[in-house]
A and B are shown apart, each in its own frame.
Chain A
Amino acid sequence: MTPSWADLGSGALRAALPLALWGLAAAAYAAQRREGRALASARWTAVAALALVVTASLSMVAALLSHDFSVRYVALNNALETPGYFSAISLWAALEGSILLWTTVLAGAVTYVAWRGTRELPRLATTALAILFAMLAFFLALMVTPAADPFVRIDPAPLNGRGPNPLLQDHWLMGLHPPLLYLGYVLFSIPFAYALASLILGEAGDRWIVATRRSALVAWALLGVGIVAGAWWSYAVLGWGGYWAWDPVENAAVMPWLAATAYVHSVMVEEKRRMLRTWNLSLVIGAFALTILGTFLTRSGVVNSVHSFTQSAIGPLLLGYLAAILVFSVGLLLWRASRLADSGPVGAPLSREAIFLFQNVLFVAATLTVLLGTLYPLLVEAVSGDQVSIGSPYFDRVAVPLGLALLFLMGIGPQLPWHGASRATLERQLVTPALAAAGAAVLSVALGVRGAWAVLAYALAAFVVATVVQELVRGVRARRALHGEPPGAAFVNLFRRSGRRYGGYVVHVGIAVIAVAIAASQAQSVQAEATLAPGGSMEVAGRTIAFEGLRDVIEPQRRQVVADLRITDSSGEAPLTAALRYYPNATAAIGSPGIRSSAGDDVYVILAAYDGRSRAWATFQVRVLPLVSWLWVGGAIVGLGAVLAALPSARRRERPLAVTVPASSAAGAK
């Protein structure tokens, strides 16, 4: 038999497992004995393991591109007709490939910590490295057992494969959304490993937070942008006119993001005020555990039914991994509890740290309510055997008030100083934003917005944006007065010198934009349905949609029925198509909606049904969704803000390293 890509990949994975175990031992020894040679060995082991895992991933991509159906994964997720792009990204079309990708990213994180981290904080990072090697070993072990071996062969090889899940070969965004989520998930293991290392070494300080600030922020941003990309994909592919359904798969991604959002804020309280130590450790453990829970929920099949859980070998293994992580982390936390007492006093109720506290309570509450709604059907089924689903109404009713309360805190928090605010400060900081909020409320009512939630959302979004604008104006003025810089240079320097702060503000603007887009597209959408004969037309929200006819498009991998439409609005006339796509491996058609996007609104046309015999009629569902495209723009703004916040500051931040520095001196850094 001639050697194949799959043999190479399979061999690489099997060689990487002992390396990961060796790395674990070498890093643990190096941390314990402060042994330079052991650390060097761990470092090179990380590089070798990364090279092997990357080889395995590329082998899988090569096997997919060359349609090697003797590999079971390829046979199940690829077909001769699958286009090259979708063949390559089928690396994450199913369980085994996803775990391979996950492991590759994890190996990258291991290598990063081995070379970068250990240089800055040798003992802490080397301990963290041992933990990361242990995680890497777990995932490699999964892949060399039949549970998730991506390179299992079948003999004889079928002549053609089944092809990827149709939903995954329908839109280019599939190449972006899952890797972003995986990167976000996996990068969280860096702060988590440092947190555990800090507990193991009995450090009481915030060194682990400072050292992992950037990776936590990047992980958070990737997860957030990945979620928005997923919403966009859902909007463009699933063809139901929405972008968020509170599906368990979506919840699995949003829960760690919510916990991580609490974390990236609460660490600032610890850095500035030496407070919330146990809380921060718990949050990072919780956020990391939720990434594993998310993978478990989406990958074990447990979401569909508790009974499908035992059908896959991967489910119990992931659950065991999750349990081991929780037991180990919580055990460490309890063991070290006595060293984690807060040294800083809490501020007044109207101080920045108090707002952070409430923000954290709300984010954790949001995480737990989503968790409750996601797991409730499983609990009911386990107890009574009944199949229950928790639909959007529950999540919407809980999420909307929580989201608006968070929007309010997002506006007010950055305006309050640490320790506490005087009345004069409050007035100086909040009068303009409050006026902006009132103005937005009046304006939206005048423009015909009905519904208290929507008006409140617009007002609070205006409040947030106004606080940011106010901060920027003041910052620019201060730089002009102090350094005599022209306005443009002063603006750029604000971001260069205090990227964390102003990048954070940009993130806040992005969230406000997302809030407006959600409120507008949910509260003010218009819906219509009509059955038209070719030549007929319908009117929706001031637009005419004319149906020109149906045509069949035969492609190698699928067949399409395409409806040609012409849409006329105040800006002119444009062609639009809505289609139903039939894939050989799916019994149901996949809708491909026609979307005409503009800054003001999207016209979203679904081909709901058509006359299968004579093509004499077709039924269209049309939704007009105001401002929905700002949701994706908001996601991009959030990503941009996170990049600005994560970039190294031009001014070297002077930070006290020892834990004995009194709390008050850190506040001077503001």
Chain B
Amino acid sequence: MSVARPAGYAGGAGERRLLMLTALAVAIGIGYFAFQELGPSAVYYLTPTEAKERQIAPGTTVRLGGQVEPGLTYDEATRDLRFIITDGVTRVFVLGRGAPPALLREGAGAVVEGVFLNDGTFRASQVIAKHDEVYAPPSPGVTPPHRTP
């Protein structure tokens, strides 16, 4: 078999440079695109007090972390979920939609992702378990209660 390169397809120095430059341009393009996407995708994780201090604009997606105050209500007919999340200083009224996840309990830690409405209410699109709660070891000598939500 002849191994000579077909005429017209020899990769000269110019062609090599062109190929490398194209590859570099593609790489830079992807990098630029990724950086552009990074900012808007960053979701800040704040306590209610921090959110208040920073005056988060209504409509900006943030995560709020805190404790669920007693008084959580869920209306089966309207599917409205209402509860208050607090860091001990600032309380935020949270409005969700759909049944509360089984892990959402009064007094437990919760993270809600969503946006502030104009009246300061937080409209949660997602209610998330606080990760470290799952792994929290029981205190010595205490049998953890089998609690239902």
Partners in one complex: yes
Contacts of A397 in B (CB 8 A): 37, 41
User: Could you mark each residue 380-417 of chain A with 1 if its beta carbon is under 8 Å from any beta carbon of chain B, else 0?
Assistant: 10000011111101100110001000000000000000
B20 to chain A, nearest CB (A): 8
A159 to chain B, nearest CB (A): 11
In chain B, positions 119-145 with a C-beta closer than 8 Å to chain A are 129, 131-138, 143-144
How many contacts between A and B, using CB within 8 angstroms? 167
Please tell me if A422 contacts chain B, counting CB pairs below 8 Å.
yes
Please tell me if A358 contacts chain B, counting CB pairs below 8 Å.
yes
14 contacts between A and B (CB under 8 A): A357-B19, A362-B26, A391-B43, A393-B40, A394-B38, A394-B41, A419-B5, A529-B79, A529-B98, A587-B108, A588-B103, A588-B108, A608-B101, A619-B99
A interface list, Cβ under 8 A from B: 162, 165-167, 304, 345-349, 351, 354, 357-358, 361-362, 364-365, 368-369, 372-373, 376-377, 380, 386-391, 393-394, 397-398, 402, 419-422, 529, 531, 559, 561, 580, 582, 584-589, 591, 607-610, 612, 617, 619, 621, 664-665, 667-668
Chain A residue nearest to B76 (CB atoms) is: A531
Please tell me if B71 contacts chain A, counting CB pairs below 8 Å.
no
> Are B15 and A587 in touch, CB under 8 angstroms?
no
Assuming the contacts A349-B15, A397-B37, asked whether A609 and B135 have C-beta atoms less than 8 A apart, the reply is no
Contacts of A559 in B (CB 8 A): 146
Please tell me if B89 contacts chain A, counting CB pairs below 8 Å.
no
> Are B102 and A589 in touch, CB under 8 angstroms?
yes
> Are B132 and A304 in touch, CB under 8 angstroms?
yes
Contacts of B146 in A (CB 8 A): 559, 582, 584
With A162-B137, A372-B34 given, name 7 new contacts (CB 8 A): A389-B63, A397-B41, A419-B11, A587-B133, A588-B133, A609-B102, A619-B98
Chain A residue nearest to B9 (CB atoms) is: A420
Cα(A162)–Cα(B102), bound, Å = 23
> Are B23 and A419 in touch, CB under 8 angstroms?
no
Please tell me if B52 contacts chain A, counting CB pairs below 8 Å.
no
> Are A349 and B135 in touch, CB under 8 angstroms?
no
Contacts of A358 in B (CB 8 A): 23, 26
B128 to chain A, nearest CB (A): 10
> Are B9 and A419 in touch, CB under 8 angstroms?
yes
Chain B residue nearest to A351 (CB atoms) is: B9
> Are B103 and A589 in touch, CB under 8 angstroms?
yes
> Are B43 and A389 in touch, CB under 8 angstroms?
yes
Chain B residue nearest to A664 (CB atoms) is: B3
> Are B144 and A357 in touch, CB under 8 angstroms?
no
Contacts of B4 in A (CB 8 A): 664
Cα(A345)–Cα(B12), bound, Å = 7
Contacts of B5 in A (CB 8 A): 347, 419-420
> Are A349 and B18 in touch, CB under 8 angstroms?
yes
Assuming the contacts A351-B9, A389-B63, asked whether A608 and B99 have C-beta atoms less than 8 A apart, the reply is yes
Please tell me if B93 contacts chain A, counting CB pairs below 8 Å.
no
A344 to chain B, nearest CB (A): 9
> Are B38 and A390 in touch, CB under 8 angstroms?
yes
> Are A394 and B76 in touch, CB under 8 angstroms?
no
> Are B99 and A347 in touch, CB under 8 angstroms?
no
Q: How many residues of B contact A (CB 8 A)?
A: 59
Contacts of B99 in A (CB 8 A): 529, 531, 608-609, 619
Cα(A608)–Cα(B127), bound, Å = 12
Contacts of A421 in B (CB 8 A): 9
Contacts of A347 in B (CB 8 A): 5, 9, 11
Please tell me if B70 contacts chain A, counting CB pairs below 8 Å.
no
Contacts of A668 in B (CB 8 A): 1, 3
B interface list, Cβ under 8 A from A: 1, 3-6, 8-12, 15-16, 18-20, 22-23, 26-27, 30-31, 33-35, 37-38, 40-46, 63, 74, 76, 79, 98-103, 108, 129, 131-138, 143-144, 146-149
CB within 8 A of A585: which of B34, B100, B101, B144?
B144
> Are A361 and B144 in touch, CB under 8 angstroms?
no
Which 3 pairs, one residue from A and one from B, show the smallest C-beta to C-beta distance?
Answer: A420-B9, A612-B148, A394-B41
Assuming the contacts A588-B129, A589-B102, A608-B99, asked whether A387 and B38 have C-beta atoms less than 8 A apart, the reply is no
> Are B137 and A585 in touch, CB under 8 angstroms?
yes
Contacts of A390 in B (CB 8 A): 38, 41-43
> Are A165 and B38 in touch, CB under 8 angstroms?
no
B139 to chain A, nearest CB (A): 12
> Are A368 and B11 in touch, CB under 8 angstroms?
no
Assuming the contacts A361-B26, A612-B149, asked whether A585 and B138 have C-beta atoms less than 8 A apart, the reply is yes
Residue among B26, B34, B63 with most chain A CB within 10 A: B34
Contacts of A362 in B (CB 8 A): 26, 30
Assuming the contacts A365-B30, A608-B99, asked whether A391 and B41 have C-beta atoms less than 8 A apart, the reply is yes
B10 to chain A, nearest CB (A): 7
Residue among A166, A529, A588, A667 with most chain B CB within 10 A: A588
> Are B38 and A376 in touch, CB under 8 angstroms?
yes
> Are A368 and B149 in touch, CB under 8 angstroms?
no
> Are A389 and B45 in touch, CB under 8 angstroms?
yes
> Are B138 and A584 in touch, CB under 8 angstroms?
yes
Cα(A167)–Cα(B26), bound, Å = 41
Assuming the contacts A388-B43, A389-B45, asked whether A346 and B19 have C-beta atoms less than 8 A apart, the reply is yes
Cα(A442)–Cα(B21), bound, Å = 36
